[in-house]
Structure 1
Amino acid sequence: MKLIGSLCAVVFCSFLAFCKPTQEKKDRVHHAKELSNQPHDDGNHQYDHEAFLGKEEAKTFDQLTPEESKERLGKIVDKIDSDSDGFVTLQELVAWIKHVHGRWVQEDVEKQIALCDTDHDGKVSWIEYNAQFYSHLKDEDLHDAEDKHSYKKMLARDERRFKKADKDGDMIATREEFTAFLHPEEFDYMKDLVVTETIEDMDKNGDGFVQLEEYIGDLYTPESGEPEPDWVKTEREQFKEFRDMNKDGKMDRNEISHWILPGEYDPVEAESKHLIYESDTNRDEKLTKQEILDNWNMFVGSQATNYGEDLTRKHDEL
């Protein structure tokens, strides 16, 4: 049963992998708390793996044999079962996935501060950030006018986001402010800017709205002669039935806000319900360790055929 379906197909992308400018399509904020940029469908559990483990830890599990994956999953289950009653409830699973996501955000922020904080004061000033990523705009090597124009647009966009994140206006981001800059979807005071950036990214004709073809074009670039995949057809229907709430053929700012920042929809809870539904064999709405281990491939999985040199790091404790 698809409890999340195409509502989760739109990616939660944090702003950076390594402090890249915000304009890059695949690295921009696009959905408030999405848990993975993988498609969430019944045939691909990679979304579930990244939601349950975190993106980096999911890569590690991909290197393990099934036996090793199950062993480590058992240790994780013991941690999730916070009251040690032998069952994993919805509340415990939600708490775990939120912990995993929060850990990933903090690890990402640590990496970016280490990269950008050149005076090592634990903060990132706009001057430091600008020097790290836009100093090349002054170089004569950047001859391509189109590239230069594109980077100038990125610079303006980053500066606007930095100023919004910088609550005290001193253009020096504390750790919390820099987190808001990198992950604005996590902060209420940044969410209006998230909507603005989404419109700017998708609105190709500049009318302030997102038409159906702009919506589809942002998700899918067809290959020459390639038939449109079923998931794209589903997204067309999603747009018509749910995204375009007033049925005028386009999404306005309010509809876009409802789509990417839906107050009533919690993807963490939805993913937790999905995992329980798929694994709860006796339908008591909670999971035993054995039920989880019996469905281990949904939770962690393994792509390895040989265990040994392919395993680059061990994580006995998460």
Structure 2
Amino acid sequence: MARSPGRPRGVTIIDVARHAGVSPMTVSRVINAEPGVRDETRRLVEAAIATLNYTPNLMARSLVTSREIRIGVLYSNPSAAFMSGFLAGVFEEASARGAQLQLLKGEAGQPPAPAEIERLIAGRIGGMILAPPLGENDSVRALLAEAKLPVAVVGGVAAGAICIGIDNRRAAFDMTRHLIGLGHRRLGFVLGNPDQTASRERLAGFETAAADAGIDATRIVPGDFSYASGLVAGETLLDDPAPPTAIFASNDDMAAAVVSVAHRRHLDVPRDLTVVGFDDSTAAITLWPPLTTIRQPVRALAAEAMQHLIEAMRRGRATSSASPRVLDHLLVERESTAPPPPA
């Protein structure tokens, strides 16, 4: 049977946007004769529509004319505690502002497949918010840059995006100084995901504080923010002939794993070993002893990122030239810290 003439199968609004070199949101404005589009841009979009023989169906048209804000959420974080706070902040802010969310999850810290991300973009979203580590993933950022979408990144740094975080270097410096103030001189540090700026900044804060105090008895071991990596790191540090008297893990999940390793070895925390974390997540208060940690306001970070993203979408801006927004951190002292045991 001959196929009836019409637009080629598979042509979507994102294809039109790519052909014209604009965002899907701009294509939607042109289709619906909305104001705020320059004449030159409108002509480019109309030419792309004609070239591709694109005709939006009624359902698609109802979506692009909807006044509801549609936002994509990309996440793939191994820390369940971090993601709980992140998603809570995103959902609360979206609900308050009447925004619709479309979630897409990657596995094991890896981004979703490019085709999945493209389908999400083609679903007529107007912006994207990314949880770490995806905010600093080159392939993800390239796809979003091509789509010319406004993007907000939580806990990371990405060119052209709205970035919300804390001063990770200062926070780690403060915690390390706290351990030194308790009398610790043999310090262990568990790294986070090496691909994330936050991990590198926390390590830098730790090393600076130790160097300022003239301490060189430090042991740094790899991790990736997951509980499993914390177990391996804890075993490695405590197998040392002269193990640390204090271990600073780059997040609470890994710190909780280190505490578990210590308990298996019949070490008392904090009498025999001090353990501290980062984030002040639910993991910090649901184990014994409760963790001394850095409070990173994950929920507030996500909510503020969502707020700025929606404002950028309403202004029709695809990028942000502003400096990263930095929220305050707090050192929360609990029962997992004490002076080092007698030699």
TM-score (norm 1): 0.25
Between the two structures, name the one with larger relative contact order (CA 8 Å, sep ≥ 6). 1
Give the structure with the larger strand fraction.
2
Higher helix proportion (structure 1 or 2): 1
